[in-house]
Amino acid sequence: MNKVMTREEFEKLVEEEFPHAIPERFRGKIQNVAFLIEEEVLTKDLLGFYHGIPATARGDGYGIGATLPDTITLYQKTIEEYATYSNLAVAQVVRDTIWHEVAHHFGYDEHQVRTKEAKRRSKK
């Protein structure tokens, strides 16, 4: 059973899991993205959410002038509940959620992300 974490503990876990979630060769390609932590979300089945312009859709004019960062939001309470329900470590769910949302940043749609996730799981 996973213990409920403080926000600070969860933020530290996200920071620690990021390098395990994203292969090094892709980390430098993540540009203008802010990671946010929210306690919970209105819908119980959302672990994370990417909001922004995917890297594949950014044209030559992207970043000229004031450009707000894209955001990847991780929903702490939902992640903790999912980990407990699924009998997984919170760290694993955080890692998988980061990977999922960063895949959206790289332009993959939900179907493509889920297909790639299935391939990742079969290799473990």
Has this prediction a pTM greater than 0.85? yes
**Pick the residue with more confidence: 120 or 74?**
74
CATH number at residue 69: 3.30.2010.20
Q: Are strands 70-75 and 33-38 parallel, antiparallel or unpaired?
A: parallel
Q: Does residue 31 belong to any structural domain of this protein?
A: yes
Range of the domain at 32: 7-123
Name, in order, each residue with C-beta under 8 angstroms of 70's C-beta and a sequence gap of 6 or more: 32, 33, 34, 50, 51, 52, 53, 105
- How far is the C-alpha of 124 from the C-alpha of 119, rounded, in Å? 9
Count other Cβ atoms within 10 Å, centred on residue 72. Answer: 23
Q: Does residue 69 belong to any structural domain of this protein?
A: yes
pLDDT of residue 1: 63
**Portion of the chain with pLDDT greater than 70, in percent:** 98
> 3-state class of 73 per DSSP?
strand
Average pLDDT estimate for 83-109: 96
Average pLDDT, the chain: 92
Domain count, the chain: 1
**Pick the residue with more confidence: 86 or 4?**
86
Q: Does residue 2 belong to any structural domain of this protein?
A: no
Q: Does residue 33 belong to any structural domain of this protein?
A: yes
Q: Residue 124 pLDDT > 70, yes or no?
A: no
Q: Does residue 1 belong to any structural domain of this protein?
A: no
